[in-house]
Structure 1
Amino acid sequence: MHSRRFDRPIILTRHARLRMDERNISQAELLAVIDTGETRYKDDSHLWAFKHISERADNLVCAVLVLEDSVVVKTVMHHFSLEASP
C-alpha cells in the first residue's frame, strides 16, 4: 500500500494487522482513513487519522500512525472517540 496524502509506503505492524482482522477492517477502508480521513497530530510525526465509513455501524474508524520514511500503522481502532485522544 502507498499513501497519496503522505507520499510514502504504508507499513502495518503485526499488532495493526491483528486488530484489522479482529475488527473486520479492510485494507481499502484503512487506506481511505489514512488518505482522506481527518487527522489529529500529537507531535510532528505521531498522529491519529480517523473517518466515518458509512457502510460500518462501529464508527469512527481510526489508525494510529507514525510518519517516518514510511507511514507506520501502529494500531487500528473502531468506536473511536475524539475525547479519547489527548
Structure 2
Amino acid sequence: MYSHRFNSDIHITRHASERMAARNINDGELIELIEAGTVKHKDDVRVWVAKNFDNRQDNLLCVAAVLEDKIVVKTVMHHFEWEEK
C-alpha cells in the first residue's frame, strides 16, 4: 500500500490490522482515510488522521500513525472524537 499524500509506503501493524477487521474497515477505506483525512500532529513523527465516512454509522474513523521512512499505522479507531486543547 502506498500514500501519494505522504509520498511513502504504508505499513499496517498486526494490531492495526486486527482493529480494522474488528471494525469492518477495509483497505480502500484506510487509504481514503490516509489520503483525504484531517491530519493533526502530536509531534514531528506521530500523527492522527481522521475522516468522516457518510456510509458508516461509526464516524469519525481515525488512524494513529508514525511518519518514519514509511507510514506505520499503529491502530485504527472508530467513534473517534478530537480532543479539545
| Class of the TM-score when normalised by the shorter of the 2 chains | over 0.9
Distance 1:62 1:51 in 2: 7
Identical-residue share of aligned pairs (%):
49
Gaps of 5+ in 1: none
Distance 2:39 2:51 in 1: 9
After TM superposition, the runs of 4+ consecutive aligned structure 1 residues lying more than 6 A away are none
Gaps of 5+ in 2: none
- Matches of residues 12-27 of structure 1 in structure 2 within 5 Å? 12-27=12-27
How many pairs are equivalent?
A: 85
Which residue is 1:7 aligned to? Answer: 7
Cα-Cα RMSD: 1.2
So what's the TM-score if we normalise by structure 1?
0.95
Which residue is 1:56 aligned to? Answer: 56
So what's the TM-score if we normalise by structure 2?
0.96
Paired residue secondary structure (2:63): strand
Paired residue secondary structure (1:6): coil
